């Protein structure tokens, strides 16, 4: 979906059954369906697809058909499509299919990063001069509306060197007397973003300002294009998907579930899984280190998964919470001390809760089944105290880790639930066996 498709054919809907089955169709089936549609239906479908799907559809076609579809797109969408190709020659081949007016626009857009304002903007917008009268401005707007301009509801007021002076909405123009000048009714110093502003910052600017579109300017204030609200929804959705996948402990996918190939899937999941496995090997080392203690009291091994997983769970909660709060800018790096202080207290509270349940579970089993013998109290105390330590440590490290990652320049979302859980497993073992050495083993007459 793009700003250009918005007003040109926004009120029609495609066949529901098709749209429902489309996301799960194979590429061959898609191509077949696409080819069998009327040109009109096919064009509607084509315009609703995302750039990756568009690229996949037109790649197998002959060049003269590719041209038809490519020219259907506004500049920013054509650029997004071409950006799907990694090969420079393939890119050049598609660029050559554009008409002489579009080609330089698309080439300019291709020079920007995909995830910054310049890569997101549309190069076509409505504009006027400050000394026009309102009547002239309305007539001029009408002219531009017949052209390829997408967002006609705001017009940007520019000087002769295309520097942004102000903005005027269609609504302001309608409400103003016909003989007044644009500069009298326009709003000065409009909200704008720079070409290299990160797309998340653009999304926030649009959300906070309540605007339908925001202009993109260069360092000297020359207008370069505009970004509309609907582009930002895609950004918000994509960023959330990326964070969710990272939180789940895999590398973010570039494509939807069914469009990600088997080997890509294996790579993006296998990489992190192997890394987590290698880190988790430290638990085998730690357990090996406490092997004597386990031989002395095998019952210790029985509670290992229960104790260490509690640390992992509390850590996953804390890290997920902080990752999302940082993404929404509810929590900033400079709040780190307040966050850590708060989370330690919450960790102690949560740990105390599990401590009580754990103590009760062991005492109850002893009472009901006589499971643990005469030293059950020492065992219960060991498990209960370990839980306080492990949960507090999990909460603390889970909340601190995303902030540490941000501080050293990484995405906080890499502090995924499985990653934090793995870290907590190792420390949890050390906490548990250290407490056992003091509380349980002496009561068994060991050492």
In the range 6-65, which residues lie near a second copy by CB under 8 A? 6-7, 10-13, 19-20, 23-24, 47-48
Q: For a second copy, which stretch binds (CB under 8 A), given 91-99, 112-120, 241-249, 402-410?
A: 241-249
CB of 60 to a second copy, least distance (A): 23
- Given a contact cutoff of 8 angstroms between Cβ atoms, the answer to whether 183 and 131 are in contact is yes
Secondary structure percentages of the chain, helix, strand, coil, to 5: 70, 10, 25
- Which of 79, 81, 247, 431 binds a second copy (CB under 8 A)? It is 247
User: By CB under 8 A, how many residues form the interface with a second copy?
Assistant: 126
CB of 433 to a second copy, least distance (A): 12
- Which of 345, 370, 442, 446 binds a second copy (CB under 8 A)? It is 345
DSSP-derived pairing of the beta strands 154-158 and 164-169 = antiparallel
| 331 contributes a contact to a second copy by CB under 8 A | yes
The residue among 115 and 230 lying less far from a second copy, judged by its C-beta, is: 230
Query: Helices 39-48 and 27-36: crossing angle, nearest 10°?
Result: 140
Which of 15, 68, 24 lies closest to 45 in space, CA to CA?
15
- Which of 316, 392, 397, 427 binds a second copy (CB under 8 A)? It is 316
Six-digit token pair at 163? 């520097």
Binders of a second copy among residues 181 to 220 (CB under 8 A) are 187, 189-191, 203, 207-212
| 409 contributes a contact to a second copy by CB under 8 A | no
Six-digit token pair at 110? 């291709």
| 446 contributes a contact to a second copy by CB under 8 A | no
| 281 contributes a contact to a second copy by CB under 8 A | yes
- Given a contact cutoff of 8 angstroms between Cβ atoms, the answer to whether 383 and 362 are in contact is yes
CB of 288 to a second copy, least distance (A): 5
The residue among 58 and 354 lying less far from a second copy, judged by its C-beta, is: 354
- Given a contact cutoff of 8 angstroms between Cβ atoms, the answer to whether 426 and 282 are in contact is yes
The residue among 299 and 439 lying less far from a second copy, judged by its C-beta, is: 299
Q: What is the rounded distance in angstroms from the CA atom of residue 240 to the CA atom of residue 232?
A: 12
The residue among 22 and 34 lying less far from a second copy, judged by its C-beta, is: 22
- DSSP conformation class of 56: H
- Residue reference for tokens 């995830």: 115
- Residue reference for tokens 């369906």: 33
Six-digit token pair at 96? 């050559």
The residue among 204 and 222 lying less far from a second copy, judged by its C-beta, is: 204
| 319 contributes a contact to a second copy by CB under 8 A | yes
- Residue reference for tokens 């696409």: 34
- Which of 35, 113, 241, 261 binds a second copy (CB under 8 A)? It is 241
- Which of 54, 83, 84, 313 binds a second copy (CB under 8 A)? It is 313
| 124 contributes a contact to a second copy by CB under 8 A | no
Six-digit token pair at 438? 């003091």
| 389 contributes a contact to a second copy by CB under 8 A | no
- Which of 96, 111, 333, 357 binds a second copy (CB under 8 A)? It is 357
- Which of 82, 121, 308, 400 binds a second copy (CB under 8 A)? It is 308
- Which of 40, 60, 104, 349 binds a second copy (CB under 8 A)? It is 349
Q: In a 3-state reduction of DSSP, which class is residue 135?
A: helix
Which of 143, 173, 145 lies closest to 157 in space, CA to CA?
173
CB of 56 to a second copy, least distance (A): 15
Angle (nearest 5°) at CA 320 between 119 and 427? 130
Q: Which residues, 6+ apart, have CB-to-CB distance to 302 below 8 Å?
A: none
Q: Interface mask (CB under 8 A) for a second copy, residues 74-93, using x and -? A: --------------------
Q: What is the rounded distance in angstroms from the CA atom of residue 191 to the CA atom of residue 24?
A: 41
Angle (nearest 5°) at CA 66 between 123 and 12? 65
| 244 contributes a contact to a second copy by CB under 8 A | yes
Strands, sheet with 223-228, edge to edge from the N-terminal-most edge strand: 193-194, 213-217, 223-228
- Which of 66, 133, 136, 245 binds a second copy (CB under 8 A)? It is 245
């Amino acid at each position: 979906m793009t700003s250009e498709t918005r007003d040109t054919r926004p009120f029609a809907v495609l066949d529901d059954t098709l749209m429902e089955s489309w996301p799960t169709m194979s590429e061959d089936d898609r191509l077949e369906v696409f080819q069998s549609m009327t040109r009109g239906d096919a064009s509607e479908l084509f315009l609703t697809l995302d750039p990756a799907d568009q690229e996949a559809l037109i790649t197998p076609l002959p060049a003269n058909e590719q041209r038809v579809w490519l020219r259907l797109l506004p500049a920013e969408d054509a650029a997004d499509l071409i950006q799907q190709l990694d090969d420079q020659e393939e890119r050049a081949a598609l660029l050559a299919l554009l008409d002489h007016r579009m080609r330089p626009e698309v080439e300019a857009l291709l020079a920007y990063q995909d995830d910054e304002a310049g890569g997101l903007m549309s190069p076509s917008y409505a504009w006027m001069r400050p000394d026009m009268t309102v009547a002239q401005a309305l007539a001029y707007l009408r002219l531009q509306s017949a052209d390829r301009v997408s967002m006609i509801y705001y017009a940007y007021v520019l000087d002769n060197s295309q520097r942004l002076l102000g903005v005027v909405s269609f609504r302001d123009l309608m409400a103003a007397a016909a003989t007044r000048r644009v500069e009298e009714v326009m709003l000065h110093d409009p909200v704008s973003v720079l070409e290299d502003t990160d797309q998340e910052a653009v999304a926030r600017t649009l959300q906070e300002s309540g605007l339908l579109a925001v202009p993109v300017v260069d360092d000297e204030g020359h207008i370069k294009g505009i970004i509309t609200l609907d582009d930002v929804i895609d950004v918000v959705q994509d960023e959330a998907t990326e964070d969710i996948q990272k939180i789940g402990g895999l590398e973010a996918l570039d494509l939807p579930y069914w469009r990600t190939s088997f080997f890509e899937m294996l790579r993006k999941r296998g990489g992190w899984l192997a890394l987590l496995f290698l880190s988790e090997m430290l638990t085998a080392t730690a357990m090996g280190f406490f092997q004597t203690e386990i031989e002395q009291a095998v019952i210790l091994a029985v509670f290992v998964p229960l104790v260490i997983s509690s640390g992992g769970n509390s850590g996953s909660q804390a890290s997920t919470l902080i990752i999302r709060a940082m993404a929404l800018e509810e929590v900033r790096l400079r709040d780190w001390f307040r966050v850590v202080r708060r989370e330690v207290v919450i960790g102690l509270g949560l740990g105390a809760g599990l401590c009580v349940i754990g103590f009760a579970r062991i005492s109850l089993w002893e009472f009901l089944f006589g499971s643990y013998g005469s030293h059950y109290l020492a065992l219960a105390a060991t498990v209960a105290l370990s839980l306080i330590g492990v949960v507090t440590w999990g909460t603390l490290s889970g909340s601190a880790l995303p902030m540490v990652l941000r501080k050293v320049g990484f995405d906080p979302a890499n502090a995924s639930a499985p990653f934090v859980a793995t870290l907590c497993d190792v420390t949890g073992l050390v906490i548990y066996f250290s407490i056992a050495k003091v509380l349980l083993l002496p009561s068994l007459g060991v050492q």
